[in-house]
Structure 1
Amino acid sequence: MSHSQYKLTYFDARGVAETTRFIFAYAGVPFEDVRIAREDWPAMKASTPFGQLPLLEIDGKMFGQSAAFARLLAKRYGLAGKDEFEQAQVDAIIDYQKDIQAAMAIWWREEDKEKQARLREKFFAEDLQQHLVNLQRQLAASHSEGHFFAASGPSFADFSIASFFFTIQKFYPTVLDNFPQLKAHGERVHNLPGIKEWVDKRPKTEM
């Protein structure tokens, strides 16, 4: 199968670009992984579709919004669900992750350190626990024996969730200890063919 020419541009981080990198790795698709320095970003910001990173160039055509172009690639390479119902299930997981990230942002961006500490404690003690209950329930209900969020196998929703919690566990190692299915899911995704090799060789970054 011939592939388009892909150029992914982001900062030197996993972040919201890592789902796209996982898609390329799992599908065995070559891509250019461009990582720019923070100080170089202001000069190129105006030339991007939404004044944001990451961005993906496909045969020279530029696309913004990581969820949009990850979905495009997932559809190209059979990682978006086998039919419209699975696609809706996969998209729902992606959208639910955005809800979790929005809840995190409330304390992450708080400048008052005492208030941030209170909000962070509440998030991990209450809010995130319910999110994890919901995610683990979705995983168990997927008819894939709890292996992936779609019955037909790995999807970009699995890649996104696994990468997201990989980073959270770097800062809060015990966060999934009471959710063994989710913890096993993350390990399973990181050991998939192609993704394991990518994880072993990718640049080591904090986020």
Structure 2
Amino acid sequence: MAPQNMKLIYFDGRGRAEVSRLILALAGQERTIYRFILLSLSGTPFGQLPVIEIDGKLFGQSIAIATYLAREFGFYGQSNLDGLLIDQAVQLGMDLLRVGFGAFMESDETKKAELTKTLKEVEVPKFYGFFEKLLKESGTGYFVGNSLTLADIFVRDVEYNISSRDVATADGFPLLQDLIKKVDTNERIKAYLATRKDTPF
């Protein structure tokens, strides 16, 4: 059973807490989401956000938090092998995000244009091809099993980070497109997205 006293704490933007927020929304636990425009980081375990407070104790690291929540609320598969498959998709998504944010955050305009071109023409097709392959191997429309898991939520959030910056879309990757629809049309996630603020990050 999930702790009664739990708070997910992050700035008032999507950023590194959004996957955890989506997991909480999927679990019907939006009451545990806390947003701050300004917050001192001095009291956090590692001087950064997000953190999750459980029974008065703070824990950090976004992937650790999202994984904990997925396990707690039943979105982490049914076996250790399921967990491995989920982690595999999540870490592929992380690899793409690292490349993406390298381009998004580059201050030199010439270099930024070069990095963005490589992201659009090389990296995104490569990684979306990986996701398409995994979905084909699963054969269920999800990365693992027959319902949404952390892997589906994470990869959908990665795609949103890419497409919302007009870099690339999932066109040409039909299984990935279908997965995106599955996530976005889930009733609880749909309700959450309808009230989510439009922020650059």
Q: Normalising to structure 2: TM-score of the pair?
A: 0.92
Deviation at 1:28?
A: 1.6
2:105 paired with 1:121: no
Aligned residues of 2:51 and 2:60 also touching (Cα < 8 A): yes
- SS at the partner of 1:9? strand
Aligned to 1:81: 77
Q: In 1, Cα distance between the equivalents of 2:76 and 2:24? A: 13
Identity among equivalent pairs (%): 30
Is 1:70 matched with 2:66? yes
User: 168-177 or 8-17, which moves further after superposition?
Assistant: 168-177
| Residues in 1 aligned to 2:167 and 2:101: alpha-carbon distance in whole angstroms | 19
Deviation track 1:20-50 (CA, whole Å, cap 9, x = no partner) reads 111111112243322222xx34xx1221111
- Cα deviation for residue 174 of structure 1 reads 4.8
Q: Structure 2: which 5+ residue stretches go unaligned? A: none
CA RMSD of aligned residues (A): 1.8
The correspondence for 2:175, drawn from 173, 181, 188, is 181
Distance 2:159 2:114 in 1: 22
Aligned to 1:20: 20
User: Quick one: structure 1 residues 177 and 81, their matched pair in 2 at CA, closer, same or farther if it must change by over 3 Å?
Assistant: same
Distance 1:110 1:173 in 2: 15
AA aligned opposite 1:24:
L
TM-score for the superposition, normalised by structure 1: 0.89
Residue 110 of structure 1 deviates from its aligned partner by 2.3
2:160 match:
166
SS at match of 2:187: coil
Q: CA deviation at 1:168?
A: 2.0
Unpaired runs of 5+ residues, structure 1, are: none
Q: Which amino acid aligns with 2:182?
A: R
Cα deviation digits, residues 140-181 of structure 1 (max 9, x gap): 11131xx21102421011111112212322222752112122
C-alpha deviation, 1:2, in angstroms? 6.6
